[in-house]
Amino acid sequence: QYHEKVIDHYENPRNIGSLDKNDPTVGTGLVGAPACGDVMRLQIKVDDAGNIADVKFKTFGCGSAIASSSYITERVRGMSITDALKIKNTDIAKELCLPPVKLHCSMLAEDAIKSAIKDFRKKR
Amino acid sequence: QYHEKVIDHYENPRNIGSLDKNDPTVGTGLVGAPACGDVMRLQIKVDDAGNIADVKFKTFGCGSAIASSSYITERVRGMSITDALKIKNTDIAKELCLPPVKLHCSMLAEDAIKSAIKDFRKKR
Ligand code: FES
């Protein structure tokens, strides 16, 4: 009942891993979903122009959370942090054709990128 | 923050797959968790003595759901269906040291085995 795009990102997740959280050009977002208790960590590395040069994530969340975060990492790479802040979870859910009950999983990805950008800005 | 047993079952899940749902000795359980919308399918193959000879599962759920179902498949193999019906989700949660917020994931595994046994009995 899941769309093939979700299955693809779930089975071949892009950009799983970690960046050095002590690097001053790295922002780390760590967020949780109250609905299910799942957590996600997403990290960005920002270049001098304010663009996202690298991005990694890790989650213990469900298939939809893995797909949402895998998709968002591909989408934000090369993007300015200003533009990345504008990504809505509903865009992710629409792109991946997530069922309504899985909206909170895409919310986890939106929260994670926002939280990573916030952490990066705090370091500056 | 997760126990190594959960991580192990999550990274090397046991008995992922399918059995032929039209086989009269196979019971199929398909259940969902209202808390997060995740689904799990668990199938058992029962021998003439009423023991579970084979068991497979599939889920799009989170790490704790994968670990809970992987653990329960190992536990019920060779068990009588009468004994398998007695497994409580709290046993699974305790064994895997799941945090309270993830109790619903172990509930998914308990529901799935119960539902598979019910389906098998209905076929008889
Ligand atoms: S159900 Fe928890 S993130 Fe999807």
**Percentage of chain A exceeding pLDDT 90:** 89
- Our answer to whether residue B105 is catalytic in this structure is yes
Which pLDDT belongs to residue B84?
98
Which stretches of chain B score pLDDT less than 70? 1
CB within 8 Å of chain A, chain B residues 39-78 = 60-65
Which pLDDT belongs to residue B79?
98
Average pLDDT score, chain A = 95
Confidence of residue A34 (pLDDT cuts 50, 70, 90): confident
Annotated active-site positions of A, please?
36, 105
Task: Determine the residue of chain A that is closest to B98 in CA distance.
Answer: A37
Q: Within chain B, where are the H helices?
A: 4-11, 63-76, 81-84, 89-96, 103-123
Confidence of residue A1 (pLDDT cuts 50, 70, 90): low
Chain B residues in contact with A102 by the CB 8 A cut-off are 37
Residue B14 distance to chain A (closest CA, Å): 17
Task: Determine the residue of chain B that is closest to A33 in CA distance.
Answer: B36
Which pLDDT belongs to residue A2?
80
Which pLDDT belongs to residue B1?
65
> Each residue of A67-112: pLDDT tens digit?
999 999 999 999 999 999 999 999 999 999 999 999 999 999 999 9
A vs B: CB pairs below 8 A = 36
Chain A residues in contact with B98 by the CB 8 A cut-off are none
